[in-house]
Amino acid sequence: MVMRSDQHTLILGLVLGFLVLLGGCHGKSLKKNFYRKSCPQAEEIVRNVTRRHVAANFTLPAKLLRMHFHDCFVRGCDGSVLLNSTKNTTAEKEAIPNLTLGGFDVIDDIKAELEKKCPGVVSCADIVALAARDSVSIQFNRSIWEVQTGRRDGTVSLASEALANIPSPFLNFTALQRNFANKGLNVRDLVVLSGAHTIGVGHCNAFSVRLYNFTGKGDQDPSLNSTYAASLKTQCRNLTDKTTFVPMDPITPLRFDNRYYAVLEQRRGLFETDAELLTNSTSARITREMLSSHKFFTEFRKSIKKMGAIGVLTGKSGEIRKVCSKIN
């Protein structure tokens, strides 16, 4: 009986401890319009500067959306993707999957503008999340997903961690699913967020093995649409071409829409990881669901909100960088 009561006390203690922990996390979580009081114009400034850059360079929405993804998958969304290498360390930027990351100048410009208005207030991590949303949203003339704010900036950026955490385009479904699960994202999030490949480009070296040497016998990936493969081969002439790039959504490459899924169904997904989404019955079913545009936009809002909250630093953790490419 004594044992029983002790056990009850223990369980009660654990439950209470858990609730306190939950409460603590809640108090420190992201919120809508975090800068309402500290920098009321923050979000408008981000939007304005982003618009100005995108108006001059249509490739930027894809760059900024991918930057947000790469930031969140390495040490959480803490702006670590923006840091330059130091004497001691090789930064995430220098890692192989950084390949062709871009838009850093946009972030620097936004930051400079914000520092003029409200010095030391708005984090670089929040700027990345907002700029991704704002750049993609321009074609809709309204924000197409909500971005909560209150992230703080990390102080560490390591190329080795980018290599370990950013999924390679050669992963199979199991490995891809595990990579997302490690970030608290499920198969639905995986399929829905892959829809980001409705804009932007891929360089030949990320997929040309599917065209020229899939199993090491000079063969082609049988899961790739052969008509499409023939057309890709006219652009990517050999296995070593690292400079040519092609749109991932050949139908509407600049438009953020759900066409990615129609492309997948036609076996025209560019990377092995895109094609792999059709190999598992659950993810294949979710892919078909996303053929409904309304469903895609609804689901994308949910999944990118989850992605934007991965491992965030809040409260007193981290810092607010003065310059996004270096720690204070």
Ligand X SMILES: *[C@@H]1O[C@H](CO)[C@@H](O)[C@H](O)[C@H]1NC(C)=O
Across 269-310, the runs of DSSP E, i.e. the strands, are none
Closest residue to ligand X, Cβ-based?
Answer: 102
Residues at the contact surface with ligand HEM, assessed by CB under 6 A? 62-63, 65-66, 69, 99-100, 167, 169, 176, 193-194, 196-197, 199-203, 206, 245, 271, 273
Nearer to ligand HEM, 39 or 171 (CB): 171
Given 70, 197, 203, 294, which residue is catalytic?
Answer: 70
Residue 48 partner contact from ligand HEM, ligand X, none using kind-dependent CB cut-offs of 5 to 8 Å: ligand X
For 245, phi then psi, to 5°, come to: -135, 155
Closest residue to ligand HEM, Cβ-based?
Answer: 200
Site string for ligand X, 294-313 (x = CB under 6 A): --------------------
Q: Is 88 in the site for ligand X (CB under 6 A)?
A: yes
CB of 179 to ligand HEM, least distance (A): 7
Q: Is 166 in the site for ligand X (CB under 6 A)?
A: no
CA quadruple 294, 276, 101, 95: dihedral positive or negative?
A: positive
User: Which secondary structure element, helix H or strand E, spans residue 121, and what is its range?
Assistant: none
DSSP, collapsed to helix, strand or coil, labels residue 313 as strand
The only residue of 98, 198, 208, 258 in contact with ligand X, by rule CB under 6 A: 98
Nearer to ligand X, 122 or 187 (CB): 187
Query: In angstroms, rounded to a whole number, what is the distance separating the alpha carbons of residues 150 and 118?
Result: 15
The only residue of 7, 174, 292, 298 in contact with ligand X, by rule CB under 6 A: 174
CB 95 within 8 A of CB 147: no
The only residue of 9, 29, 182, 266 in contact with ligand X, by rule CB under 6 A: 266
Q: Is 139 in the site for ligand X (CB under 6 A)?
A: no
Nearer to ligand HEM, 49 or 310 (CB): 310
Query: In angstroms, rounded to a whole number, what is the distance separating the alpha carbons of residues 199 and 319?
Result: 32
What Å distances lie between residue 72 and 46, 67, 96, CA to CA?
19, 9, 17
The only residue of 135, 177, 198, 273 in contact with ligand X, by rule CB under 6 A: 177
Q: Is 155 in the site for ligand X (CB under 6 A)?
A: no
The only residue of 33, 57, 148, 223 in contact with ligand X, by rule CB under 6 A: 57
CB of 45 to ligand HEM, least distance (A): 23
CB of 292 to ligand X, least distance (A): 20
The only residue of 148, 205, 223, 225 in contact with ligand X, by rule CB under 6 A: 225
For 102, phi then psi, to 5°, come to: -155, 175
Count CB neighbours of 44 within 10 A.
Answer: 9
Which pair of structure tokens corresponds to residue 27? 């108090």
CA quadruple 269, 63, 166, 121: dihedral positive or negative?
A: negative
Q: Do the bridges between strand 245-247 and strand 201-203 make them parallel or antiparallel, or are there none, so unpaired?
A: antiparallel
CB 143 within 8 A of CB 304: no
CB 200 within 8 A of CB 63: yes
In eight-state DSSP terms, residue 85 is: P
Strand partners, 31: 149
Nearer to ligand X, 145 or 171 (CB): 171
> How far is C-alpha 196 from the geometric centre of its chain's CA atoms?
9
- Does 68 qualify as catalytic in the annotation? no
Count CB neighbours of 52 within 10 A.
Answer: 13
In eight-state DSSP terms, residue 245 is: E
CB of 161 to ligand HEM, least distance (A): 16
Residues at the site binding ligand X, with contacts judged by CB under 6 A = 41, 44-45, 48, 57, 59-60, 63, 84, 86-88, 93-94, 96, 98, 101-103, 141, 172, 174-175, 177, 187, 213, 216, 225, 227-228, 237-241, 266-268, 280-282, 323, 325-326
Write out the catalytic residue numbers: 70
